[in-house]
Amino acid sequence: VHTGGFINKENFVSSVNFAKDHGLCNFFLHGGEPTMHPDIVDFARIAKNVGLTVKMFTNGKKDSMITNHKKHRAAFENYYQIT
């Protein structure tokens, strides 16, 4: 049961490993507004580093956090989609 708040790193890594272990290729970051999560860039890197294509559904509220900072671009490069 979800009690609100953000997913923690341990649960996120578990989800990424589940996806990879079951042959999934894409990993979607969504639900609420993903750019509000303080670890969203690290989470994208975690999924990308195991070979998953990362896609994020966002309203762009904090899009500048990702697209305007050079150090964050690699996490989403060629894998970043706003819809």
Per-residue pLDDT of 9-40, as tens digits, reads: 999 999 999 999 999 999 998 877 888 888 98
Would you state the pLDDT for residue 57? 81
Parallel, antiparallel, or unpaired for β 26-29 and 53-56? parallel
3-state secondary structure of 53: strand
Structure-token pair, residue 41: 């860039």
Q: Which residue spans within 19-79 are E strands per DSSP?
A: 26-29, 53-56
Would you state the pLDDT for residue 10? 95
Would you state the pLDDT for residue 31? 78
The answer to whether the beta carbons of residues 72 and 54 sit under 8 Å apart is: no
pLDDT digits (tens, 9 = 90+) for 35-83: 888 898 899 999 999 999 988 887 767 666 666 655 566 666 655 454 4
User: How far apart, in whole angstroms, are the C-alpha atoms of residue 14 and residue 6?
Assistant: 15
User: How far apart, in whole angstroms, are the C-alpha atoms of residue 30 and residue 34?
Assistant: 5
